[in-house]
Chain A
Amino acid sequence: MNISDELYQQTILDYNRSPRNFHKMENPTHFARGLNPLCGDDYTVYLRVNEDDMIEEVSFDGHGCAVSKASASLMTQELKGKTLDEARCLFHTFQELATGKEHSLGKLNVFSGVWKYPERVKCAVLAWHAMDSALSGKKTTSTE
């Protein structure tokens, strides 16, 4: 087992050192906090969704490990321009990827070795869960 190949691939290290879309969003239409009480990882994911249910902008802030931060950052890039249905579908596929199922998800494939470290899977999916909660919250707590 080589942890540099399986868990800490270069892309993850790059995104950890300089995360993209790593800032609070003014006037998001949706946002939710993702908290891992076990290790203290704590992110807030912000989305701006337009009238056609398309995600125009995504960002996040907070703190956590390299795996959770890189995953959150890559997620924000992947979700921009997607519809809500596409976003939920990608969340589902990404969860499968992170738990050992083979998928072709481009850059997100750097997380295909995470399943070998079961205690780190929740790091990889944390921001995605926050995104999903934020979007689900729309029905009851729409900010628009």
Chain B
Amino acid sequence: MSSLYEQIRADFPILGKKVNGHPLTYLDSAAASLKPLPVIEAVERFYREMPANVHRGVHSLSREATAAYEGARETVRKFINAARIEEIVFTSGTTASINLAARSWAATQLRKGDEIVLSHMEHHSNIVPWKMLCEENGFILKIIPVTDAGELDMEAFHSLLGPRTKLVAVTQVSNALGTINPVEEIIAAAHAHGALALIDAAQSAPCMPIDVQALDCDFLAFSGHKLFGPTGIGVLYAKAGLLEDMPPFLGGGDMILSVSFEEICYNKPPYRFEAGTPNIAGAVGLGRAIDYVRAIGFDRIQEHEQNLLRGATAALNSLEGVRIIGTAEKKAAVISFVIDGVHPHDIGSIVDSCGVAIRAGHHCAQPLMTRFGLPATARAAFSIYNSEDDIERLAAAVHKVREIML
């Protein structure tokens, strides 16, 4: 049994919960991670001790709330090694972050006929905003194909780049297959063609260190809820020079310097992009979640999760009729699988009756499912709080699926 699991298990009291009479085996962290006590306590402490608004009060509580909110921004900056704190925009999540980049940057910078390159393994949140933009403005989507192993076809990627390429937007880790993509190479190639690069880090932020300066990405988006933090909070990182020139997406309070009916003077970044009262408690919780992850360290997290990935892959491969979808050389601890003759929904319901929580469906990646000729898969995603016992419980539950259904 892994020492990391032993060390942190007590931080996740929900692991003591019984589900359908069985101990909870939570394998749906790629949809939302569990929250450790320090995060829950940080959110509670915010509401208990400083439940005021930010950036506008002259009273003490507002000052404390502002300090906590801006402190969380600095925590995020350090976490992804951004050069400047104004490069960190708080949003409601990865989806909002990508929509912000699409609406404030792409919609104003691209022209009809310009090309946006995505991959075939993107989450709908990194497809739909761009598709909407293309339909409104006549931009063109180009799609990087995915190989049978679930890796990006890099040769095809390079051949997609051309003089009209203005943006390459790809995920660092596939939420559906676990594939880790070579984003360094992708970003460099985009830049070589004068295009910008946006990285969807929703799935990578919880499992690997991110250094936006080393990556040299232009935009990077991630969410709190997959990173052991609250729901409804996320981040858009963008290089300062880009944010400086971007018009606001949402208008309202806090994003202005002055307002009259004749003229509005917008605030500077990042505030220009944070209209209205933000999710202050969410930001505070996210900041605490990042502290929690950093205290463990990505070396230990990766070692632990790669062990679980190896063990679970072997366990599932040894079960008759089970086929793993996505066999990339470099993977995060996310395993999509199907059972011949059994629909993933039936897998999901039966393993749930054994206390095992997995995802069954298209994982908001329908084009990818279509690519593999599947309507859906079952997905087991492992995280820091999973143990080898969870692999055994998953294997036993999958065995029961076959017993009942076949």
Write the residues of chain A forming the contact surface with B, with a CB cutoff of 8 angstroms.
1-4, 7-8, 13, 16, 38-42, 63-67, 69, 117, 120, 123
Please measure, in the bound complex, the distance between the C-alpha atom of A42 and the C-alpha atom of B369, giving whole angstroms.
14
Cβ B345 vs Cβ A39 within 8 A? yes
Closest B residue, CB atoms, query A64: B343
Known: A39-B345, A40-B362, A64-B343. A8 touches B376 (CB 8 A): no
Query: Can you list the 4 inter-chain pairs with the closest CB atoms, starting with the nearest?
Result: A40-B375, A65-B343, A65-B345, A3-B353
Known: A13-B405, A39-B376, A40-B375. A3 touches B369 (CB 8 A): no
Identify 19 new A-B residue pairs, CB closer than 8 A, beyond the known A4-B404, A13-B405.
A1-B21, A1-B353, A2-B353, A8-B350, A8-B404, A8-B405, A39-B361, A39-B375, A40-B362, A40-B366, A40-B369, A41-B345, A41-B375, A63-B375, A64-B345, A65-B344, A65-B346, A117-B349, A120-B345
Task: Please give, as numbers and ranges, the residues of chain B lying within 8 Å of A65 by CB-CB distance.
Answer: 343-346
Cβ B405 vs Cβ A40 within 8 A? no
Please measure, in the bound complex, the distance between the C-alpha atom of A42 and the C-alpha atom of B349, giving whole angstroms.
19
Please measure, in the bound complex, the distance between the C-alpha atom of A8 and the C-alpha atom of B400, giving whole angstroms.
12
**B360 at the binding interface (Cβ < 8 Å):** yes
- B60 to chain A minimum Cβ distance, whole angstroms, is 47
**B20 at the binding interface (Cβ < 8 Å):** yes
Taking a contact as CB atoms closer than 8 A, the residue among A2, A38, A67 that contacts B346 in the complex is A67
Cβ A39 vs Cβ B404 within 8 A? no
Task: Please give, as numbers and ranges, the residues of chain B lying within 8 Å of A4 by CB-CB distance.
Answer: 404
Q: How many residues of B contact A (CB 8 A)?
A: 19
Write the residues of chain B forming the contact surface with A, with a CB cutoff of 8 angstroms.
20-21, 342-346, 349-350, 353, 360-362, 366, 369, 375-376, 404-405
Please measure, in the bound complex, the distance between the C-alpha atom of A41 and the C-alpha atom of B20, giving whole angstroms.
26
Please measure, in the bound complex, the distance between the C-alpha atom of A88 and the C-alpha atom of B97, giving whole angstroms.
46
Please measure, in the bound complex, the distance between the C-alpha atom of A38 and the C-alpha atom of B359, giving whole angstroms.
12
Most buried by A among B20, B344, B349, B376: B349
A-B contacts, 10 of them at CB < 8 A, read: A3-B353, A13-B404, A39-B375, A39-B376, A40-B361, A40-B362, A42-B375, A65-B346, A120-B345, A120-B349
Task: Please give, as numbers and ranges, the residues of chain B lying within 8 Å of A64 by CB-CB distance.
Answer: 343, 345, 375
Task: Please give, as numbers and ranges, the residues of chain A lying within 8 Å of B342 by CB-CB distance.
Answer: 66
Task: Please give, as numbers and ranges, the residues of chain B lying within 8 Å of A7 by CB-CB distance.
Answer: 349
Please measure, in the bound complex, the distance between the C-alpha atom of A8 and the C-alpha atom of B347, giving whole angstroms.
12
Task: Please give, as numbers and ranges, the residues of chain A lying within 8 Å of B349 by CB-CB distance.
Answer: 3, 7, 117, 120
Closest A residue, CB atoms, query B343: A65
Closest B residue, CB atoms, query A2: B353
Task: Please give, as numbers and ranges, the residues of chain A lying within 8 Å of B353 by CB-CB distance.
Answer: 1-3
Closest A residue, CB atoms, query B375: A40
Cβ B350 vs Cβ A3 within 8 A? yes
Most buried by A among B345, B362, B366, B405: B345
